[in-house]
A and B are shown apart, each in its own frame.
Chain A
Amino acid sequence: MNRDIDLKDFFPLPPEKDRGKDKIGWFCTYTPEELIMAGGYSPVRLMGEKALRTAESYFPINFCPYLKSGWQSLMDSAGSLSGAVFTNSCDGMRRLFDIAEHYLKGLPVFMLDVPRRTDRESIDFFSLKLEEMLAFIEGLRGSTISPPEIADSAALCDRKRQALAHLSDLFFKGGRDLDISQYYRIMELAATADAADLISGILSLNSCLKQAAGEKSARGPRIMVIGNFITEEKLWDLLSEMDLELVCDDLCISNRYYEKQVGTAAKTNRKDLLSAIALRYLTKPACMRMADTGAKIEDFKQKIRDRGVQGVVFISLKFCDTVLYSFPLIRKELAALKIPVLYLEIEYNNFSEGQVKTRLQAFLEMI
């Protein structure tokens, strides 16, 4: 932990109960928060409870640990939520929605169907699905959401994404004022905090970081992290302590969340706004659920070239099929570029610190 920067100075976020707005929970980065905000609700990503109590009994043992943890969060927080939005992002998420719909009768839930393709037809189809999501939110608040409300919230989300992108740029390319743990802590906050508060905090932080900006001095091999929904603090702490330079990533809590803007300027009617939002979400950095695995691998390669990556740490939550099925090909393609890859599979609430540390050390020595 970098002691020079105290995140609380920049993000003095009020406790959730004091935030004033009604909350809608969400899970996946394909959920357009702007539509939730347009309805006057506060979007809160359900990060998952680390300690499972009853959630295990609803799912098989070999099931995505984030979804089990998310289910525990949902059960625990259902009373404080006005609704929850799920996405048809993977088999696990479909089943989580089923469980929520079946066993949490009092909570309004919505399943957003997200296409796996990105062609014109898919964007048009996704726009229709966004219209359904908007209707769900309108149903919750009991009135129509106007185009300016959508445009304003999309613009606010864009500002948040720009602030996060700028912060990431400073972090990955700049000095070491912010350590890895702190960086990912902010990324987690971004998905749960009030957007305006977060933007203000990041802008203040960015201005401090700017003063120390400049390409990172060589502290060790230049590493890229690829994975899925990785929020393991102990892992970030470990990486912070090791002799390496984290120079880019591709994660659910990072670039897949903040890259690419909606850009609502000059769009004034509902259909055009939804179409712009659909385009942003289907063409943002993809989750491995999307059809075009080849394009995803090309993105990795581009980052590796641009950032001079010397090794990739590939981290997956256990039982994430779309990632696990993609890994053999990713590894093959990166091997062809002579980029070594360390493959780590982790649990959500049972991180094996010693083992991971040993493997990371051995990997870094090899590079």
Chain B
Amino acid sequence: MAVKETIKKNIQRNLNRAYIRKLLGILARKPVLFAYGSTFSSQSDKYLNIFTIESLRDSYDEKGPVAFGSLFLPYEMFHALGVAPFLPEVMAGFTAGLGLADQTLKKASSSWYSQDLCTFHRSASGAVEMDLFPDPSFIVTTNLACDAAQKSFYHYAVTYGIEDKYHLLDVPYDNNPESVKYLSGQLEKLAKIISGETGSPVDRDRFARTLELSNEFRDWALKINDIRKELTRYPENFNGLNFILPFHSLIGTKKAVKLYQSIYMELESFLKAQRAAENSGNSSPKKILWMHLKPYYKNEIFDIIDKGNCRVVFEEINNVYWPRLDPEKPFESLARKMLSHPLTGRASNRTSALGKMIRDYNIDGGILFTHWGCRQSNGSARIIKDYFRERGIPVLVLDGDCVDRTNSSEGQIKTRLQGFIEILNPR
């Protein structure tokens, strides 16, 4: 813990791009990286941190083309084109974890980003204004799930002087053959533009290999999700809401496969131990489905849940929602993947997906974290609440902020969580 705290404090004191690059360069050196990895209590945490550092190092090195991308893009395409992905929204989560969000949010406010906007995007925008991120060669965004990235990322493009390298993948509302055609056409066009800029032609074999790796990742992720249908005892500090970066931007790489394979192995061993303990008569906790994201700064939420004989057994964001990709039809496959996301189109796409999770994980209660300014998710809160209630499952709509700790009431969250836990565990 001391190492991590030291790193955190050093970044806080030296908050500039050169220092971040230097630090990542040091941390990503093999002996240092594995020594750092060994400070984590679980294999899944260890590989998560190692691969995250390597991925960030690749972006900050700027040895090859870097593309800023919003969440929910098909990052397989970036890897197949040899472009290092960099996700400002995920970085905003890191600003919260590293205690930097007060600075980035302040910068965003002074740059006229309204305080009513999502803090993931505000914090990322502040970081861009502070020049904390690597220089992008391209900026790719999508309207999948929400409107925010397509607007804020254009501003980034102007800031970096690359407006002509800003690209929006416009994801249609419905998932049908017309939409697949429209979106796959955009993907193919974008691949040609990027390959034209980087000077390496679109390599169909490389695309096929990347999509095969994506499928391999998908298989491991499904196996993990399968284990979790029974698992309630997890490695220390395991939190399924921490895997956004590999789940999105590493997909299509060997690293993502290795990470998810290691998570599977670790969780499988915990499941065996759990089964042995259950034979000795230990009671199992109430199973909670977590919807949306969580606060990425230090907080007590999950300790309170665990201490209340409850356990988050699945998170909406870990749902493997997309069908297997066809390596022979990369653009069509990736379009199908984007269109099958439950956050596209109607709220009923989301509730249908949640319904399957409720059944698969035998859910006792749901928590919808309503992150400040997330219109697309919070706008469905009433429908989600009613969906749970109609099925007789208690649900808690927990207001808060994933990035800005000053915009969350710790006391109120605690009180509401405790009340919810009492409902799940009546005396």
Which positions in A face B, CB cutoff 8 Å?
57-60, 62-64, 88, 90-92, 94-99, 101-102, 111, 113, 115-117, 121-122, 125, 128, 288-289, 291, 293-294, 318-319, 321-322, 324-329, 331-332, 343, 345
Once A328-B112, A343-B112 are accepted as A-B contacts, the answer to whether A115 and B379 lie under 8 Å apart by CB is: no
Once A88-B173, A289-B147 are accepted as A-B contacts, the answer to whether A101 and B346 lie under 8 Å apart by CB is: yes
Give 16 A-B pairs besides A60-B370, A125-B172 with Cβ atoms closer than 8 angstroms: A90-B375, A91-B376, A94-B379, A95-B347, A111-B173, A111-B346, A113-B172, A113-B173, A113-B174, A121-B182, A293-B154, A319-B116, A321-B117, A322-B151, A326-B151, A343-B112
Report 20 cross-chain contacts, Cβ distance below 8 Å, ordered by A residue: A59-B379, A60-B370, A62-B378, A88-B173, A90-B147, A91-B147, A97-B346, A98-B348, A99-B383, A101-B348, A113-B172, A113-B174, A117-B170, A121-B182, A324-B114, A325-B147, A328-B155, A332-B158, A343-B112, A345-B114
Chain A proximity mask over B355-394: 1 for CB below 8 Å, otherwise 0: 0000000000000001011011011111100100000000
A236 to chain B, nearest CB (A): 23
Q: Is there a chain A Cβ closer than 8 Å to B212's Cβ?
A: no
A62 engages B373 (CB within 8 Å): yes
A52 to chain B, nearest CB (A): 15
Q: Is there a chain A Cβ closer than 8 Å to B163's Cβ?
A: yes
B150 engages A321 (CB within 8 Å): no
- CA A64 to CA B379, docked complex, whole Å: 10
Contact partners of A102 in chain B: CB under 8 A: 347-348, 383, 386
> Closest 8 interchain pairs by CB?
A95-B379, A325-B151, A98-B347, A113-B173, A91-B376, A328-B112, A291-B168, A91-B375
> Residue among B348, B375, B380, B382 with the most chain A CB within 10 A?
B375
B375 engages A319 (CB within 8 Å): yes
Of chain B, the residue at the smallest CB distance from A59 is B379
Contact partners of B174 in chain A: CB under 8 A: 113
B163 engages A294 (CB within 8 Å): yes
B383 engages A60 (CB within 8 Å): no
Contact partners of A125 in chain B: CB under 8 A: 172, 178, 182
B112 engages A99 (CB within 8 Å): no
- CA A327 to CA B125, docked complex, whole Å: 13
Q: Is there a chain A Cβ closer than 8 Å to B146's Cβ?
A: yes
- CA A277 to CA B378, docked complex, whole Å: 34
Contact partners of B152 in chain A: CB under 8 A: 325
Once A113-B172, A293-B154, A325-B152 are accepted as A-B contacts, the answer to whether A60 and B379 lie under 8 Å apart by CB is: yes
- CA A86 to CA B381, docked complex, whole Å: 20
Chain A proximity mask over B312-331: 1 for CB below 8 Å, otherwise 0: 00000000000000000000
Contact partners of B121 in chain A: CB under 8 A: 325
Q: Is there a chain A Cβ closer than 8 Å to B86's Cβ?
A: no
B155 engages A329 (CB within 8 Å): yes
- CA A294 to CA B345, docked complex, whole Å: 27
- CA A60 to CA B172, docked complex, whole Å: 25
Once A95-B375, A318-B116 are accepted as A-B contacts, the answer to whether A116 and B111 lie under 8 Å apart by CB is: no
> Residue among A57, A88, A115, A293 with the most chain B CB within 10 A?
A293
A98 engages B158 (CB within 8 Å): no
Contact partners of B182 in chain A: CB under 8 A: 115, 121-122, 125
Contact partners of B116 in chain A: CB under 8 A: 62, 318-319, 324, 345
A288 to chain B, nearest CB (A): 7
Q: Give the size range of B's interface with the partner.
A: 35 or more
Q: Which of A58, A113, A116, A331 is close to B150, meaning CB atoms less than 8 Å apart?
A: A116
- CA A178 to CA B420, docked complex, whole Å: 59
Q: Which of B148, B383, B386 is close to A321, meaning CB atoms less than 8 Å apart?
A: B148
A63 engages B378 (CB within 8 Å): yes
B104 to chain A, nearest CB (A): 14
A327 engages B112 (CB within 8 Å): yes
Contact partners of A62 in chain B: CB under 8 A: 116, 372-373, 378
B379 engages A92 (CB within 8 Å): yes
B400 to chain A, nearest CB (A): 12
A291 engages B150 (CB within 8 Å): yes
Contact partners of A122 in chain B: CB under 8 A: 170, 182
B346 engages A128 (CB within 8 Å): no
A321 engages B173 (CB within 8 Å): no
Q: Is there a chain A Cβ closer than 8 Å to B214's Cβ?
A: no
Of chain A, the residue at the smallest CB distance from B382 is A58
A91 engages B112 (CB within 8 Å): no
- CA A196 to CA B345, docked complex, whole Å: 36
Contact partners of B51 in chain A: CB under 8 A: none
A324 engages B117 (CB within 8 Å): yes
B26 to chain A, nearest CB (A): 35
Once A125-B182, A325-B117, A328-B113 are accepted as A-B contacts, the answer to whether A60 and B381 lie under 8 Å apart by CB is: yes
Q: Is there a chain A Cβ closer than 8 Å to B185's Cβ?
A: yes
- CA A322 to CA B148, docked complex, whole Å: 7
- CA A184 to CA B118, docked complex, whole Å: 32
Of chain B, the residue at the smallest CB distance from A101 is B346
- CA A321 to CA B113, docked complex, whole Å: 10
A295 to chain B, nearest CB (A): 10
B18 to chain A, nearest CB (A): 25
Contact partners of A345 in chain B: CB under 8 A: 114, 116
Of chain B, the residue at the smallest CB distance from A117 is B170
- CA A102 to CA B150, docked complex, whole Å: 28
A327 to chain B, nearest CB (A): 6
B117 engages A98 (CB within 8 Å): no
Q: Is there a chain A Cβ closer than 8 Å to B186's Cβ?
A: yes
Chain A proximity mask over B121-149: 1 for CB below 8 Å, otherwise 0: 10001000000000000000001001110
A294 engages B383 (CB within 8 Å): no
- CA A125 to CA B158, docked complex, whole Å: 29
Of chain A, the residue at the smallest CB distance from B181 is A125
B147 engages A322 (CB within 8 Å): yes
Once A325-B148, A327-B112 are accepted as A-B contacts, the answer to whether A94 and B172 lie under 8 Å apart by CB is: no
A115 engages B170 (CB within 8 Å): yes
B63 to chain A, nearest CB (A): 30
B284 to chain A, nearest CB (A): 34
- CA A99 to CA B386, docked complex, whole Å: 11
Contact partners of A288 in chain B: CB under 8 A: 151
- CA A101 to CA B348, docked complex, whole Å: 10
Contact partners of A121 in chain B: CB under 8 A: 182, 185-186
A165 to chain B, nearest CB (A): 28
A65 to chain B, nearest CB (A): 12
B375 engages A92 (CB within 8 Å): yes
- CA A90 to CA B370, docked complex, whole Å: 18
Contact partners of A343 in chain B: CB under 8 A: 112
Of chain A, the residue at the smallest CB distance from B114 is A324
- CA A322 to CA B146, docked complex, whole Å: 10
Q: Which of A92, A111, A117 is close to B168, meaning CB atoms less than 8 Å apart?
A: A117
A321 engages B147 (CB within 8 Å): yes
- CA A91 to CA B150, docked complex, whole Å: 12
Once A294-B163, A321-B117 are accepted as A-B contacts, the answer to whether A94 and B151 lie under 8 Å apart by CB is: no
Contact partners of A95 in chain B: CB under 8 A: 347, 375-376, 379-380
- CA A62 to CA B114, docked complex, whole Å: 12
